[in-house]
Structure 1
Amino acid sequence: MSAHPTLASLAELPSQDPAFYTQAYNNRALVPDHPVHMARWAADSALVRARVTFREGLRYGASDSPYAYAETLDYFPAVTSVDFARPPLLVFIHGGYFRSFDKSDHSFVATQLPRKGVSVAVVNYALCPEVSVEAIVRQVLQSVAWLYRQADELGHDRDRIYLAGHSVGGHLVAMLMAALWPQFGADLPADLVKGGVSISGLYDLEPLRRAEFLQADLQLTEADVARLSPAFLTPATDAPFITAVGELESSEFHRQKALIRAAWPNNVREDIPLPGKHHFNVMDDLTREGTPLLRAILAMVGAV
């Protein structure tokens, strides 16, 4: 690969062997001690929920939705105000290859941000194979639209909504940055999302379609990949997009990052190095004072 690879070269899949994608995307196999990190997520999240006042299980979906049990979010209000204005809101979308994890596993994202004047919403969604990937995209769209409409009641600034996500959560962040919001509601502005952060994000779903251990649950078609891969979509605005991938992650996660940077040159403003990090500790810096990742998020939302 050249020093400055083109979008076309980055979009070209590196292998035709499904086993390659099974190996490159099986993060649990690549990080043998992943249970330790997942247990720490849960423990840190429980600690956050025990220490702060927050609103749990707010329903963003319709009450008669068959997936109402999953269409919920937890809301952690800012506890300090930077400028006495309504605080910005960071909406966090968890990963898990569309088929695992829960908002309660990710409350730890609210360790530092509310103290810095940023409200945080951690979103849940239904999981594959019960629902499709497209249905999950629509659920997350619905959650952010709900947060826009509920800004007065919840207390954040509807004109300062930002997104962050991990792994396929990063994919969902990018999908929302490409969303044509007025088509989802006449009251929704085209620039509803003011910026996004994707940690170990995925922007081309074709490798997931080829990884047998994922495809068994995701059931992606070629049409799904074309419609739901942000790297091949146009961003709705020039809102800033920040990327970050752990140094120790597979070559595919680094290629995915390079792909979105090439595809969205007017949006990708910054890439945060994460030296010594793998897929399950890449978010640690969100919980620690003064880290480059936390500083970048605070700068993006204007809370510095």
Structure 2
Amino acid sequence: MKSAFGILVSCLIVVRAPAAETSGGRLTAPQRLETLHLQAVREARLGFARARQPLPDLGVYDDFRAVMHVHAEDAEHTKGTRPQVLEAARKTGVRIVMFTDHGGPKTETWHGVRDGVLFFAGEENGGAGLLRFPNFDAHRVPLPDGELRFLSHIEERYDASMEGFDGMEICNRHTDAKLDTSLQEYLQSAAKDPDRWRKLIANFKAYPDEFFAAGTDYHPEILAKWDRELATRPFTGIGANDAHQNQIFQGSTFDPYEVSFRNLCTHILARELTEPEIRRALREGHVYVSHDWLCDPTGFAFGAINRLGVFPMGDPAVMTGNTRVVALTPLLAKLKLIHHGAVVKETVGTNLTFVPSDPGPYRLEAWLSVDGEERPWIYSNPVYLKPPSLSDLRLPSRETSPNVEVKKDIDYTPDESADANKHRLDLYLPKDKKPAPVFFFIHGGAWRSGDRSQYLPLGNRFAKEGVLTVVPSYRLAPRNPHPAQIEDVAAAFAWVARHVAEYGGDTNRIYVGGHSAGGHLAALLALDDHYLKTHRLSPKQIRGAIALSGVYDLAEGDSQSSVFGKDKQVRRDASPLFHVNGLAPPFLISYCQWDYPTLPVQARVFHAALQKANVAAELVFVARENHISEMISLTQDDDPTAKAILKFIKR
């Protein structure tokens, strides 16, 4: 399932409830093993499952369940096998297993995809408190760079240096057992009494997940160590199953892999299930830890939002004037927002919004009320807020290259009204290449703002590479609602088709493109032929379409109603997605890592629809850019998106 972080802005529904009644106390592990408490916890879990609300797939990433710190066939005290690990992973929906062999990684330890599960071969060095996952080449030879290293068993080394590590365990089932031996002592005592033992075994068989979770706990001293390190640098927190399948008493195994894997998961947010993407996600902190046994957390989202874009957990975000820290859960929970180790906001609901005044790392914990106790459910990794600086501006140069000539304020349709300036376009002409391919670029601005005068750096960027670039203005909403924008764009294109050859443009190579609202208009022009028919033209005269972070489906909801109104048929007709056809020109589509809500999923759905219609379509993911910086970076010579556009045009 895709991470649902995008919904936080676009369609967040606030759900609040009074805090659940609890005794305020904490049960011991042996008390949790009493039949009445096991039954109560089971009932709570069933209630959570019924109340859980699925969240839409609107984010950049897929949510992959992972189990980390897993042992199999690596030491005498490990009793489980690799095939048993695979079987348990498939039963529990785990997609990633990270083995940590004692003295490994062993040559026979699985590495790579097997039956749909991605395996990593790694090592646990207990003496050093180290989990390491070497970066292997195709021949299973460790590479000098790229190894992942996590500090392990914090309970043994609270003062250990973090130098050389990428992150640390913030939960470990073995840590629970070492810090509280009452559960093991209870089992050992019960084993001496046949009647107690029979009852205990019956309870374990009836309530395996509740039984296994009886010893889990919250360790503030471990999280405090994490918070101290987060104050100095990004540092990924992971969950450690420390699974051996070796807790065997009188022939009964109390830690089977299947139960362990259901109990605790490290959820890794990545674009695809490949080793490079998973390594990147772990290193960058696109991770949250969850006690999945309580309730499926899939869809949990946490991060920051502002006018620049959406910044999920693990990422930095510049604190602009409207920056908010936000969280969303699929189930009502107690949500605690933590900054430098202190709770700065607490609420009960399915979402949290906080306007920060101080920079630094912000992380979230979600807790559930279970049988009179508050028990931890989810631990996010932080989002890292930073104050704005001059280096964040990266304003493009407005100088024109020597090999570029600019023609401004050309009328593309007769108009003597107040809107006359919006019916003009600017040309950026390469002096040294004729006939030149033509890039007809439509500006963004939510259909309500923007002007061609802002795009000199873009026009110059492509013209100096031999591409004649056209930037029109168009009438803006709400004064001029839809279809005024697309009608003006069609009129400007018609002028280009009939006159650009006079300026050295090749009319057989006209490409339309745009960013944001301009991406929507470019796609609509290329797919819905009736706008060009008005000018006795057709989309066949468009050699290709370039849609950057565009909007392709306006049918759902009534967002942008000041532009498109609320009539469902009008909104559907204004949606490029519903005009996809097999005669469409080739498309280049982009979306950003930190794009606006819904735009990543819209790009993917639109791309898939084009491919289904057998239209040549390329999807470009723009890493480490937001909705605004994408356009600023586009003007730079080394920008990968600009290079992709030039390759698309010049092929």
State yes or no: 1:301 paired with 2:613: no
Q: 3-state SS of the aligned residue for 2:594? A: coil
List runs of 5+ in structure 2 lacking aligned partners.
Answer: 14-57, 59-303, 311-317, 322-387
How is 1:78-157 mapped onto 2 (pairs within 5 angstroms)?
78-81=430-433, 85-157=434-506
Which is richer in strand? 2
Call closer, same or farther: CA 1:178–1:216 in 2, change over 3 Å: closer
Q: In structure 1, how many angstroms separate the alpha carbons of the residues matched to 2:492 and 2:305?
A: 27
State yes or no: 1:222 paired with 2:574: no
State yes or no: 1:283 paired with 2:635: no
How is 1:51-62 mapped onto 2 (pairs within 5 angstroms)?
52-62=404-414
Q: In structure 1, how many angstroms separate the alpha carbons of the residues matched to 2:558 and 2:471?
A: 30
Q: CA deviation at 1:271?
A: 1.6
State the Cα deviation string for residues 268-294 of structure 1 (Å, max 9, x = none). Answer: 521222111111111234222243322
State yes or no: 1:274 paired with 2:626: no
State the Cα deviation string for residues 1-38 of structure 1 (Å, max 9, x = none). Answer: 48xxxxxxxxxx979x84469xx99745757549999x
Q: CA deviation at 1:198?
A: 1.1
Q: In structure 2, how many angstroms separate the alpha carbons of the residues matched to 1:70 and 1:235?
A: 31
Q: CA deviation at 1:132?
A: 1.2
Q: CA deviation at 1:245?
A: 0.8
Q: Which residue is equivalent to 2:533?
A: 183
Call closer, same or farther: CA 1:229–1:27 in 2, change over 3 Å: farther
Question: TM-score, length-normalised on structure 1?
Answer: 0.80
Conservation of the 8 A alpha-carbon contact between 2:7 and 2:597: no
The percent identity for this pair of structures is 26
Q: Which residue is equivalent to 1:47?
A: 399
Q: CA deviation at 1:86?
A: 0.5
Q: Structure 1 residues 214-223 or 260-269, which shifts more?
A: 214-223
Conservation of the 8 A alpha-carbon contact between 1:191 and 1:236: no
Q: Which residue is equivalent to 1:241?
A: 587
State yes or no: 1:170 paired with 2:522: no
Call closer, same or farther: CA 1:29–1:279 in 2, change over 3 Å: closer
Call closer, same or farther: CA 1:19–1:216 in 2, change over 3 Å: farther
Q: CA deviation at 1:93?
A: 0.6
- Answer 1 or 2: higher relative contact order, Cα 8 Å, separation at least 6: 1
Q: 3-state SS of the aligned residue for 1:165? A: strand
Conservation of the 8 A alpha-carbon contact between 1:113 and 1:120: yes
Call closer, same or farther: CA 1:136–1:48 in 2, change over 3 Å: same
Q: Report the residue type matching 1:115 in the other structure.
A: K
Call closer, same or farther: CA 1:180–1:250 in 2, change over 3 Å: closer
Q: 3-state SS of the aligned residue for 1:198? A: strand
Q: CA deviation at 1:217?
A: 5.5
Conservation of the 8 A alpha-carbon contact between 1:91 and 1:121: yes
Conservation of the 8 A alpha-carbon contact between 2:412 and 2:425: yes
Q: CA deviation at 1:192?
A: 1.0
Q: CA deviation at 1:40?
A: 5.9
Question: TM-score, length-normalised on structure 2?
Answer: 0.39
Call closer, same or farther: CA 1:255–1:180 in 2, change over 3 Å: same
State yes or no: 1:200 paired with 2:552: no
Q: In structure 2, how many angstroms separate the alpha carbons of the residues matched to 1:273 and 1:138?
A: 30
Q: Report the residue type matching 1:294 in the other structure.
A: A
Count of residues in Structure 1 that have an aligned counterpart in Structure 2: 282
Q: Which residue is equivalent to 2:424?
A: 72
Conservation of the 8 A alpha-carbon contact between 1:190 and 1:236: no
State the Cα deviation string for residues 79-109 of structure 1 (Å, max 9, x = none). Answer: 332xxx4101101111111001111112221
State yes or no: 1:262 paired with 2:603: no
Conservation of the 8 A alpha-carbon contact between 2:404 and 2:429: no
Conservation of the 8 A alpha-carbon contact between 1:177 and 1:235: no
Q: 3-state SS of the aligned residue for 1:105? A: helix
Q: In structure 2, how many angstroms separate the alpha carbons of the residues matched to 1:50 and 1:28?
A: 33
Call closer, same or farther: CA 1:161–1:25 in 2, change over 3 Å: farther
Q: Report the residue type matching 1:132 in the other structure.
A: P
Q: Which residue is equivalent to 1:9?
A: none
Q: In structure 2, how many angstroms separate the alpha carbons of the residues matched to 1:268 and 1:251?
A: 26
Which of these two proteins has the greater Rg computed from alpha carbons? 2
Q: 3-state SS of the aligned residue for 2:620? A: strand
Q: Structure 1 residues 60-69 or 220-229, which shifts more?
A: 60-69
Q: In structure 1, how many angstroms separate the alpha carbons of the residues matched to 2:603 and 2:637?
A: 25
Q: Report the residue type matching 1:157 in the other structure.
A: D
Q: Structure 1 residues 63-72 or 272-281, which shifts more?
A: 63-72
Q: In structure 2, how many angstroms separate the alpha carbons of the residues matched to 1:29 and 1:189?
A: 35
Q: In structure 1, how many angstroms separate the alpha carbons of the residues matched to 2:643 and 2:521?
A: 22
Q: Which residue is equivalent to 1:159?
A: 508
